[in-house]
Each structure stands twice: as C-alpha cells, then as structure tokens.
Amino acid sequence: MALKYCQSHKCHTYDTKDRKRGSKGNKTNQTRRRSEFYYGNGNFCSLNCYDDWARDFMDRAIDSISGRLNEPLIMSEENAWRKRRSYSFDNGNYQPTYFWHNACTGEDRQITEEEFRNQSQPNL
C-alpha cells in the first residue's frame, strides 16, 4: 500500500515525535505520512489537522464545488426515494432483498440486484 501525506497545511506545525525528521541537532517537523488516515474521508491524520483545514478552506470549498444553499432543500414524495437492501437468513444462507424506499410515504418497491447496481432513480 502506498504511503500518503496528511493534507492539512498546518500538520507540520504540531510538535510530536512522529513528525520529527533529520539527524541530531538538525531536526525538523514534517507532515505525517501514513498508509491510512481516519479523518476527513481518509485525508487527514488527526481531527486537529482536519479542523485546521476546514477552518481555512471549507467556505471556499462549499462555494466553488457544491454551491452555498440560500434556501432550504425540501424533501417531497418525488425526491424521497433511496436504494436499500436487507438480508434474511434462509437455509443457512443470507438472502439479500433490494428495494427502493420512499422516506416520505414509507413505500417500498422491490427491484433486482442489477437494477440496484445500475439505477440512480426509481422507474415510477
């Protein structure tokens, strides 16, 4: 597995032993490098680093990528459909059931596994 760096622009400013690099008398702090991170969708080594990045860049990310909401989003029967799966135990095996679930009405519509993988909206 390839190593990757923490994406915080302030990671190297935290003074911890694992960030120290260099020979005695010439030590510097460096950004953490690991095979796996657990914060911010695997991009940050700690919650501190994630918070530093979010504090400085989150507004810019929202404005440029998803757009800032200026009015509430409203769930209706038409946009409340979510894909779900459930499992039942039958004859020593787990049997999956795939379906669309409407969060407003509580209605379920069964679909095939292929439809589950390929559909982004239910066929109403």
Q: What CA dihedral angle connects 57, 59, 64 and 67, to 10 degrees?
A: 150
Quick check: 65 pLDDT over 90? yes
Quick check: 1 pLDDT over 90? no
Which token pair is 121?
Answer: 């909206």
| Mean pLDDT (whole number) for 1-23 | 92
Q: What is the model's pLDDT at position 122?
A: 85
